[in-house]
Structure 1
Amino acid sequence: MYPFGRVVYVLAHFSKVSETFILREVVALRRMGLSVQVAALHRVHPGGLTPEEEACVREALFVPPLFLPSVLLANVLAFFRAPRRYARAFAQVVGMPHRSLYFTLRALYHFLAVGYLARALSGGPPVAHLHAHFASVQTEVAMGLATLLNVPFSFMAHAKDIYVDANALREKMMAAKFVATCTDYNARHLREICPEIAERVALVRCGVQVEGIAWATPEASCPPLILSVGRLVEKKGHRHLIEACGLLKGLGLSFRCLIVGDGPLRDRLSEEVARRGLDDFVSLKGSLPYSQVEAFYRRATIFALPSLVTEEGDREGLPVVLMEALAFGVPAISTATSGIPELIVDGQTGLLTPPADTQALAMAMARLIRDEALRRRLSRDGRRKVEAGFDLERNAAKLAALFERPIRRRAYPSTAKRA
């Protein structure tokens, strides 16, 4: 049992299929002996979970609709229990220099979750630390809750939350005990935004459980299978993948392309497949349980994710699906955007093409389909890259050490001063 109390993860949705990496991170921390509980604003039922993952979801706290009487009553009680602290938390979250009235009103609305969670977390072991994933409303709730409970908080920055939303990001960073992020690319960006706390910006990869994935030398399926996994949003580049498949068809190559995932662009991408006459080559499979995705990884000849930076600035952090593909031994093709080159080193652990370059993507896929020796080398070296720097347990241990540092200082202040 963790001796210092609970670490509470503050999330917007739990557990989204596209955020399964957070659930796995919580499980890894619990295996290390940390008492970790999730508090989420919205419940999502993904299905296909392991018993350990089911336990995390079952033990999570979920905030009901924020205008229910129970939520409002919890805030009234929180105010009368500690009026000055409640007012300070309110001023901190709502009074930050938000980007616009929309963000101010959003913070005001979600502050109701602070009072509710303060009351809901009052039972059981004491809360020792709060940690949010994504620097958006999750971090705002964690910040207010930390003030109300008088505990430290931290957050993990990813992609859209710091490149598109980026709401009061500097103020959130200044208030946090540490800021974790999944790429060196992000870390440099965050340190430029808030150089005063550069030493508190930590690189913690969103890893995969490498030990649980059996690597296999890739065998070319007949026809070769091109696999892509990810939400159907612009930054994933699926439109360019479909266009590249049209070029492969024009080259006379036999192949199948499976795109796993769901999102707002599904109808448009389906229309693109039909318009290009690719119904016999490209299939959109929708969102699937991980067990089925795993089966596709084991059959895949190539993994392709042609990510890009959108006009509004949205981009990847470092897609976990690329780590999974390399762990399974599937040679991967992606683009030199954001933190992706930290995993995919062109010609060594995979192939990189310029973003939105359909011709280059098609040529890279054709090259891998035809060159078995290259596939085998990339498969071997890609797996080694994941083992060396992207293992889930190793990165979870780094995160656990970051949690413990401020907690130990609070528990043993004299020892902390001597250190």
Structure 2
Amino acid sequence: MRILFIVGSFPALSETFILNQITGLIERGHEVDIYSLHRPKNTQKVHPDVENYRLLERTYYAPERATNAFVRLLQAGRLILVNSGKHPIALLRSLSRFNNRNQLKPIEWVYSTMPFLGKQPYDIIHCQFGVYALKGMILRDISAIQGKLVTSFRGFDISWYVQEYGEQVYNELFKKGDFFLSNCEYFRQRAINLGCDAKKIVVLGSGIDCERFFFKPRFPGSDGKVRITTTGRLVEKKGIAYSIRAVAQLAKTHPHIEYNIIGDGPLKTELQTLIEELNVSHQIKLLGWKHQQEIIEILDRTHIFVATSVTAQDGNQDAPVNTLKEAMAMGIPVIGTRHGGIPELIEDGVSGFLVPERDVETLAEKIVYLCDRPEIWQPMGQAGRAYVEQHYDTNKLNDQLVQIYEQLLINEDKNGVINPNFQEAIA
């Protein structure tokens, strides 16, 4: 199959779940192109697979736009003249697009169309995140691209974006899209409530490569320290301020606790200030961005993993986050919040604990409970590993993804209606 992935930014260190799908499809013999709507600002740190699979050779960006509006207009005119013979219909239709709240101006559609001029049709156009599917839908409408339109809802697109732009924002996409995926049942139900046909959406979790995350039973270290780790962007919905406050509560009675936070983001300065104000700089460290192998090395020394996601003021929510899956795959007992899709991942009291959002007291209690009972680390870690292997192994999920594509291509009748047995065929 010829498959086009439409993504927000590529390569992106924080989206290994998309990278795993791309490499998995290539390994299975499919031809994959990547259309990145934005050029990444920092490419100094990229996942090794980006180079191993030479993915930048498969990645396309719209031509860079001049900052000056008049110069940008001249550039667009030149692009039209030079490329008018490649796909005149797509260019003319791109110029007919009118500006509204969710669409680009006609001149911007000219830039967006350029990477596809002269390309062969695709079998599948897979848009990663609903917000990018809106652009993929229009690119298909103007005949810049051809293929079955598949959309993955993953988090902010079905939470914050809906709150920001209204519950009707995906109405047209739900009508025109061929099939939809969500990374948890929580977001599947939300899409259905917004108007998505329940027969056209299934859950396909975001996978991890379990072979890269080696299981190791957890035992107290010889130095007596209990090492706690969090991995995630330093943004409101990750709730990291609450885990900092919980560890700070325990600092005096449990001086052996060491808390490392991996990640970067707009709240870095605010969180560092909080750490200093609570006088726990000796126990809590912001480590910044790390690539996957560095994260694995830190997790290898970790005893407890914490992910305290919360619903942000703008409505942004998390699915079952991959950082939790990675920690569970390595045999680490985890603590997460009753938030979004996280309860679909953590079995409370089996592989870890679930606590209410923003509940510092309960979070601190669960941290102490695990710190004081190292004998339960190993059985919890084993349960977590088994659950991730069963439900989130990227190889199994990539096989299911190919099956979804294949069923989508063959199970459509002459009227363009999806076969009602479609979901059963891929279950």
**Common topology (TM > 0.5):** yes
Distance 2:334 2:342 in 1: 11
Please name the residue that 1:112 is paired with. 110
Displacement of 1:130 after TM fit?
A: 1.0
Q: What residue is the counterpart of 1:127 in the other structure?
A: 122
Distance in 1, matches of 2:107 and 2:274, equals: 39
Instruction: Tell me what 1:314 maps to.
Output: 316
Q: Secondary structure at the match of 1:36?
A: strand
Structure-2 change in CA distance of 1:51 and 1:65 (3 Å): closer
2:341 alignment counterpart: 339
State whether residues 130 and 146 of structure 1, in contact with CA within 8 Å, keep that contact through their aligned partners in structure 2.
no
Residue 389 of structure 1: how far off its partner (Å): 0.6
Residues 117-158 of structure 1, C-alpha deviations (whole Å, 9 max, x = no match): 221xx34x642221111111x212211222313322111111
SS at match of 1:239: helix
How far has the Cα of 1:49 moved from its partner? 1.3
Name whichever structure is richer in helix by fraction: 1
Letter in 2 for 1:142: G
Which TM-score applies when normalising by structure 2? 0.86
Identity of counterpart residues, as a percentage?
22
Distance (whole Å) between structure 1 residues aligned to residue 37 and residue 62 of structure 2: 5
Letter in 2 for 1:131: H
**2:253 maps to amino acid:** L
Aligned to 1:98: none
The aligned counterpart of 1:205 is 205
Instruction: Tell me the equivalent position of 2:286.
Output: 284
Q: Distance in 2 between matches of 1:314 and 1:37?
A: 29
Shift of the 144–72 alpha-carbon distance from structure 1 to 2, 3 Å rule, reads farther
Q: 1:51/1:269 Cα in 2 relative to 1: closer, same or farther (>3 Å)?
A: closer
Unaligned runs of 5+ in 1: 96-100
Call closer, same or farther: CA 1:18–1:320 in 2, change over 3 Å: same
Superposition TM-score, scaled by structure 1 size = 0.87
1:312-365 deviation per Cα after TM superposition (whole angstroms, max 9, x unaligned): 211112211011110111111010111001010110121111110011111111
Q: Is residue 262 of structure 1 aligned with residue 261 of structure 2?
A: no
3-state SS of the aligned residue for 1:8?
A: strand
Distance in 2, Cα, partners of 1:217 & 1:204: 29
Residue 361 of structure 2 is aligned to residue 359 of structure 1: yes
Letter in 1 for 2:136: A
| One-letter code aligned to 1:117 | P
Aligned to 1:216: 216
Partner of 1:152: 148
Structure 1 match to 2:58: 59
- Partner residue of 1:162 out of 140, 158, 161: 158
CA contact (8 A) 1:230 1:261 kept: yes
3-state secondary structure, aligned to 2:130:
coil
Q: Is the 1:333–1:352 Cα contact (8 Å) retained in structure 2?
A: yes
Correspondence list, 1:286-301, <5 A:
286-301=288-303
Is 1:49 aligned to residue 48 of structure 2?
yes
Contact 1:111–1:141 (Cα < 8 Å) also in 2 = no
Give the letter for the 2:204 counterpart.
V
Whole-Å separation in 1 of the counterparts to 2:388 and 2:105: 38
Aligned counterpart, 2:177: 176
Distance in 2 of aligned mates of 1:53 and 1:368 = 40
Go from structure 1 to structure 2 and tell me whether the alpha carbon gap of 1:81 and 1:126 turns closer, same or farther (over 3 Å shift): closer
Distance in structure 1 (CA, Å) of the matches to 2:9 and 2:135: 13
How many residues get paired?
Answer: 400
Distance in 2 of aligned mates of 1:107 and 1:350:
49
Check 1:246–1:152 CA distance in 2 against 1; reply closer, same or farther (3 A cut). Answer: same
- Secondary structure in structure 1 of the residue aligned to 2:54: helix
Give the whole-Å Cα distance in 2 for the aligned partners of 1:388 and 1:334. Answer: 20
Equivalent residue number for residue 15 of structure 1: 11
Match of 2:251 in 1: 249
Equivalent-residue separation in structure 1 for 2:31 and 2:152 (angstroms): 19
One-letter amino acid of the counterpart of residue 278, structure 1 = V
Residue 152 of structure 2 aligns to a residue in which SS?
Answer: strand
Quote the Cα distance in structure 1 between the aligned partners of 2:110 and 2:130.
18
Structure 2: which 5+ runs fail to align?
67-71, 422-427
For 1:179 and 1:89, the matched residues in 2 are separated by 25
Q: 1:110·1:141 contact (CA, 8 Å) conserved in 2?
A: no
> Can you list the C-alpha shifts for 1:282-314, whole angstroms capped at 9, x where unaligned?
000111111110101111000001111112211
Distance (Å, rounded) in 1 between the aligned partners of 2:392 and 2:111? 34
Matches of 1:254 and 1:20 in 2, distance apart? Answer: 33
Structure 1 residue 377: Cα displacement: 1.4
